[in-house]
Chain A
Amino acid sequence: GAVVSQHPSRVICKSGTSVKIECRSLDFQATTMFWYRQFPKQSLMLMATSNEGSKATYEQGVEKDKFLINHASLTLSTLTVTSAHPEDSSFYICSATQTGQPQHFGDGTRLSIL
């Protein structure tokens, strides 16, 4: 149980493109979803916390207008990186949880901006 699906697994695109990443909880209803970013050889950095039907809470230093998060249902959250630039290249990982349960992670999306 507790399967989280993330799509796509890899994106390579030109600078200025907007990229949407989907995160789905397949076998449970996620009360909360999280979006992380991880640069090479560094630990996970939390970007935002997303609750179904409400605005995401962004961590300090994360631009909410650049990283748009939509959490339309209890099983789906999306992260859109708007007008991506090479410095946005990173490994983006979502996780999902339900009340009182551990976070389970998706497989991650490797984003490369040329």
Chain B
Amino acid sequence: QKEVEQNSGPLSVPEGAIASLNCTYSDRVSQSFFWYRQYSGKSPELIMSIYSNGDKEDGRFTAQLNKASQYVSLLIRDSQPSDSATYLCAVNGMDSSYKLIFGSGTRLLVRP
């Protein structure tokens, strides 16, 4: 079983819709969770970080964390074509080295 799992997609949504990206993780002791956006040919860019159960909102983005169910999600409201990218879920590893365990990413396609 992979430590961090994401649906590879592509997830296709029309412009203006809500895009919902999901991620599950296997390590119950994980404390830090991150969403990165990666455009094709570019390096990842931090979108959101979340550390406690519940929702965290930043502009059009909302991260949701449920530690009991071991899932973290990212909602993108009013999706724009410029949101089309691969979204990487990352979870901190068990040790104290600050390593992140990355999912394989979900490709999002926002149709104009």
Q: Hey, which bits of chain A sit against chain B, CB under 8 A?
A: 6, 31-32, 34, 42-44, 46, 49, 57, 91, 93, 97, 99, 102-108
Contact = CB atoms under 8 A, between A and B. Distances in A.
A31 to B, nearest CB: 8
Given A32-B97, A46-B99, A103-B98, 10 more contacts: A34-B100, A43-B88, A43-B103, A43-B104, A44-B44, A93-B43, A103-B90, A105-B43, A106-B43, A108-B42
Contacts of B46: 102-105
A102 B34 contact: yes
Contacts of B97: 32, 49, 57
B88 A102 contact: no
B49 interface: yes
Nearest to B44: A105
Contact of A103 (B41, B100, B103, B104): B100
Contacts of A6: 43
The contact size tier of chain B is 20 to 34
Interface of B: 32, 34, 36, 41-46, 49, 88, 90, 97-100, 102-105
Contact of B105 (A43, A103, A104): A43
A58 B58 CA distance: 35
30 contacts: A6-B43, A31-B98, A32-B97, A34-B100, A42-B104, A43-B88, A43-B102, A43-B103, A43-B104, A43-B105, A44-B88, A46-B99, A46-B100, A91-B41, A93-B43, A93-B44, A102-B34, A102-B49, A103-B34, A103-B46, A103-B90, A103-B100, A104-B46, A105-B36, A105-B45, A105-B46, A106-B43, A107-B42, A107-B43, A108-B43
Contacts of B103: 43
B98 A32 contact: yes
A42 B104 CA distance: 7
Contacts of B49: 102
Interface centre among A97, A99, A102, A108 (most CB of B within 10 A): A102
Which 5 A-B pairs rank lowest in CB-CB distance, beginning with the nearest?
A: A108-B43, A43-B104, A105-B43, A93-B43, A102-B49
